[in-house]
Amino acid sequence: MKKIFTNDKISQLFNIINSAKRIAIISHTNPDGDAIGSSLALYRALLKIENNTQKDIRIIVPNSMPDYLEFLDTQKAVTTFAYNEKECGAFLAASDLIFVVDFNNTTRLEKMSEALERNICATRVLVDHHIDPPKFDLEFHSTQSSSAGFLAYLLIKELGITIDTTIATPLYTAMMTDTGGFMFGNLNTELYTAVSELAATGIDIASINREVFNNQTLNKVKLTGYLLSDKLTVNLPKKSAYITLSLEEKDKFEYKIGDTEGVVNIPLTVQGVVFSALLIENKDHIKLSLRSIGELDVNIICNEHFNGGGHKNAAGGKFYGTMTECENAIKSIIDRF
C-alpha cells in the first residue's frame, strides 16, 4: 500500500507519545462507529507500546455512545464527559498529548470544548477525514479517507504496532460503519486491502456486522417504521425527501441517542431521490442530518444555512428556531434545486 504519512511525521509522533504521561483520545458529540472504533483502536494500540501501560491514557467523548457500539468497549475504556464533567475536565486540562479523532472543529464537542480550552500545553494530534481542519501540531488527515478508522489503521501500522483482534475489531467497525457497510464513500483498493488485513487477524466479521446492524431495540425499529410511513415527505420532481421528528414523538417512542442512526439514508433508496434530510427537534434547536448522492454538496448547505458542515455527501448542523421554521427552510432549499 502506498505510504501517505512520511517517516518524519511518524517518528515525530513516536517521540511525542514516548514523552507524554497523560494522553487523552477525544472524539465528537453523538459518537458513531468511526468515532468509537478509531478511538478504541488507538487506545489499545498505544497500550502496546513499551512502558505505556504506566501512563494515564483515556478516551473521552462528550456524550454517551449508542447501545449498538457497547460491544466494542469490552474494558469500559470510554469515559463520557457529560456524566463526569469535573474529572474529565481536569484530565483534559492536564493532558500533555491529545488525539483529536474523527472531527476537527471544537464546535462538535459542545460543552466539552470549554474543558479543552483550559489546556494550553498539550500537543494536539489530528486523526481525521473531515474537510478544512484548522492547524494542529501534527496532522494525520485526508479527506480522501472514507473513515478516520482507515487513517488510524495506517498510523498504527506505521508505528510498528501489531494489529491483533482487539485492535482489528474496532478498526473494522469504524471502516464499515462510515461507509454504510461499504456502500458509499471512498471505496478504493487500499480500503479493501486494509479490510483484508483486518480479516486475516481472525476477527469475526459476520458477528460484528450483526452487532452493528441486527441489534436494534424494538422501539428503534418501530420508530423507523413510523417515520417512513407517517413523517416522510418526498418531492420527486426535485429528487428530494425529508423526515421530521418532534419532541413529542421522541417521548412516545422512548427515543434514545442512536435511535435515528441510519434513518436519513433510507429515503435515498427511493428511485430517483438524491437528497435526504432528517430534522430532529431538541429542547433548544433542531438537529439536521443531510445526505446526498453525486454532485449535490450538502456540506455547503449545512455551512450556509445550518451552522454546521461535514462532507460533500453527508453533513449535519443545527437550526435555532421552531420545527415549522426549519421545515420551511428545508422546503425552500429543495425548491431551489
Nearest residue by C-beta to ligand 5GP? 316
Quick one: cell of 288?
439536521
Q: Is 315 in the site for ligand 5GP (CB under 6 A)?
A: yes
Residue 204: CB minimum distance to ligand 5GP, A:
26
CA distances (Å), 266 to each of 103, 262, 272, 292, in order? 25, 7, 13, 11
CA distance 209 to 246: 30
196-234 b/e (C-beta count within 10 Å ≥ 16 → b): eebeebebeeeebeebbeeebeeebeebbeebeeebbee
CA atoms of 126 and 129, how far apart (whole Å): 9
To the nearest whole angstrom, how small is the minimum distance from the Cβ of residue 42 to Mn ion? 14
Say if residue 22 is exposed, middle or buried (CB neighbours under 10 Å; 0-12, 13-18, 19+).
middle
Residue with Cβ nearer ligand 5GP (13 or 268): 268
Q: Compute φ and ψ for 211, nearest 5 degrees.
A: -55, -40
- Structure-block grid coordinates of residue 51: 512502558
Least distance from ligand 5GP to the Cβ atom of residue 234, Å: 19
Binding site for Mn ion (CB under 5 A): 34, 102, 148, 178
Number of residues binding to ligand 5GP, judged by CB under 6 A: 14
Interface with ligand 5GP, residue 308, by CB under 6 A: yes
Q: Is 314 in the site for ligand 5GP (CB under 6 A)?
A: yes
Contacting range for ligand 5GP; rule: CB under 6 A; set: 12-20, 119-127, 148-156, 303-311: 303-311
Rounded distance, CA 125 to CA 10, Å? 11
- Give, as ranges, the residues between 91 and 150 that touch ligand 5GP (CB under 6 A): 105, 107-108, 130
CA-CA-CA-CA torsion sign (30, 36, 38, 39)? positive
Of all residues in the shown chain, the one whose CB is closest to Mn ion is: 34
Closer to ligand 5GP by Cβ: residue 89 or 310: 310
Contact of residue 108 among Mn ion, ligand 5GP, none (CB under 5-8 Å per partner type): ligand 5GP
Beta bridge partners of 291: 276, 314
Among 140, 279, 317, 330, binds ligand 5GP (CB under 6 A): 317
Nearer to ligand 5GP, 9 or 318 (CB): 318
Contact flag: residue 89 with ligand 5GP (CB under 6 A):
no
205: Cα separation from own chain's centroid: 20
Q: Determine the interface stretch with ligand 5GP among 41-49, 145-153, 203-211, 311-319 (rule: CB under 6 A).
A: 311-319
Positions touching ligand 5GP (CB under 6 A) are: 105, 107-108, 130, 289, 308-311, 314-318
